Amino acid sequence: MQCEQVADRLPQIVDGGERAAPGVLAHVDSCLRCQAELVQYRKLLKALRTLRTDVLEPAPGTLTAILASLEAVGERGAMRSLLNGRRAAYVGGIAAATAAAGAAGAIVLASRGRRKMRLAG
């Protein structure tokens, strides 16, 4: 295996995320240049990990802007649930009225039927 071929694999295997082919490992074991390159990749990963604890101070107004947009979302949500509640009340009212009208109609029809039967008898 040539250094160029191995160099392409080094960024993949540096963190152990991918298993190196035996040929790559054998080459690295015997090649000082590739060993040095692998060491440099390890240094890079170590340096990148240190950035995790390097927290920046947010630009002024960031927190206020976030809280304001959350407030707006909360208000919209409250408004939506209020409207949904009213819609449910309207739908419920209409359903109740329809049911009551249906029942009244049925009673009227039934009583007319009985009267007709009495007259016929």
Partner 1 sequence: MALDLAELVTAAKAGDKAAFTTLVEATTAEMYTLAYRLTGNVEDAQDVVQEAYVRAYKGLKKFRGDAEFTSWMYRITANCANTHLVRSSRHRHDAMDGTEELTDERPGPESRLTSADERSQLNLALQSLSPEMRAVVVLRDVYDLPHEAIAAELGISEGAAKVRLHRARRKLRERLFPLRGEEHTDEEDARAV
Does position 41 bind partner 1 by CB under 8 A? Answer: yes
Member of 23, 30, 65, 85 binding partner 1 (CB under 8 A) = 65
Instruction: Give the shortest CB-78-to-partner 1 separation in angstroms.
Output: 11
Does position 66 bind partner 1 by CB under 8 A? Answer: yes
Q: What is the DSSP string of 14-45?
A: TTSSSPPPHHHHHHHHH-HHHHHHHHHHHHHH
Stretch that binds partner 1, among 19-27, 40-48, 80-88, 107-115 (CB under 8 A): 40-48
The residue written with tokens 């649930």 in the block is 81
Burial of 11 (0-12, 13-18, 19+ CB in 10 A): middle
Q: What is the DSSP string of 62-80?
A: HHHHHHHHHHHHHHHHHHH
Member of 2, 16, 49, 120 binding partner 1 (CB under 8 A) = 49
Does position 32 bind partner 1 by CB under 8 A? Answer: no
* Cβ distance to partner 1 smaller for residue 71 or 115: 71
Stretch that binds partner 1, among 69-77, 80-88, 99-107, 111-119 (CB under 8 A): 69-77
Member of 67, 94, 95, 109 binding partner 1 (CB under 8 A) = 67
- How far CA 114 is from CA of 100, 101, 108, 117, in Å, comes to 21, 20, 10, 5
